[in-house]
Amino acid sequence: MTIKCLLHVHSSFSYDSKTDLADVARTARKHGFACVLMSEHNNFMNVDSTAALVRRCEELSDETLLIVPGLELAFDQNSVHLLAYGIREYIDSATPGCTFASLVNQVRAAGGVPVLAHPTRRDAMSRVSLDDLRMLDGVEIWNVKSGNRFFPSSVELRFLERLRASGARLFGYAGVDWHHLARFSPIAVALDAPALTRESVLEHLRLGHFRVCGPFVSLDASGETRQSRLAMYAVASETLSNTRRVAYRWQSALERRGMKTPRAVIAVARRLFSV
């Protein structure tokens, strides 16, 4: 069976989201997703709140929708984030002597899937050694919040390419990095699994038996992409970034003059730039 999964999702269990987990479940069903992998920020969480997250995920799951608990571990003064998909216990990433490698080992010991989140954010990919990166199951090649909802990042795809060329056996993941209910993007990780269970989904992710799928782009977990397509992603991404900067400048200029940006313009801008 083909299972459409929604990855890198936050709810009100995270300090920076007000979205109720029930609303996450409702939206996932509406858009045809059968599985949601949560990644709640471990900042301000503890053993009790993590246990509450696990219980709530179980309450909202049924035979047609599986919600899998997980954490996003902040490391290196919040510059590096490690997605811990599937873990059911709290991990403290701020303890003295904690290292990136020790976090990865804790995630694995807890039965989870360790993935580097948004590698270009705060230059996270340069803050982790090659040996530590090789320990991972994957890196995000498409993060909607850090990038856009239309195509993956050419920089992160090339990053994955270099890692795999060095002998690392890891794969390219997509994450919506979804915090706010009204800013949903249907970027999916599609896998063929025999059953809709936590164990089956996590195992297929570890093995790279999935595809990353968006409205206009679909690619294999290996991230292998033609150079011409990478160049197109790079140009399109730069164009979007420049357009976003211009749009924000216009909005600021209008506000300084006491003028409000028309709602229709705001709606279009959010559709293009916000998540």
The pLDDT score that the predictor gives to residue 275 is 45
Backbone conformation region of residue 244, classed left if phi is above 0, alpha if psi is from -120 to 50, else beta: alpha
The pLDDT score that the predictor gives to residue 264 is 66
Backbone conformation region of residue 167, classed left if phi is above 0, alpha if psi is from -120 to 50, else beta: left
The pLDDT score that the predictor gives to residue 232 is 73
User: Model confidence over 138-188: pLDDT tens digits?
Assistant: 999 999 999 999 999 999 999 999 999 999 999 999 999 999 999 999 999
Q: Is the dihedral of CA 183, 187, 189, 194 positive or negative?
A: positive
The pLDDT score that the predictor gives to residue 101 is 98
With a cut of 50, which residues of the chain have pLDDT below it?
A: 275
Q: Measure CA 80 to chain center.
A: 13
The Cα-based distances of 265 to 181, 247, 248, 261 in angstroms read 20, 10, 12, 7
Residues 12, 191: Cα–Cα separation, whole Å: 27
Residues 149, 273: Cα–Cα separation, whole Å: 8
Q: Which residues contact 107 (CB under 8 A, 6 or more apart)?
A: 73, 82, 84, 87, 91, 113, 114
The pLDDT score that the predictor gives to residue 244 is 67
The domains located in the chain, with CATH, are 2-225 (3.20.20.140), 228-273 (no CATH)
The model's pTM = 0.91
Q: Measure CA 58 to chain center.
A: 21
The pLDDT score that the predictor gives to residue 265 is 61
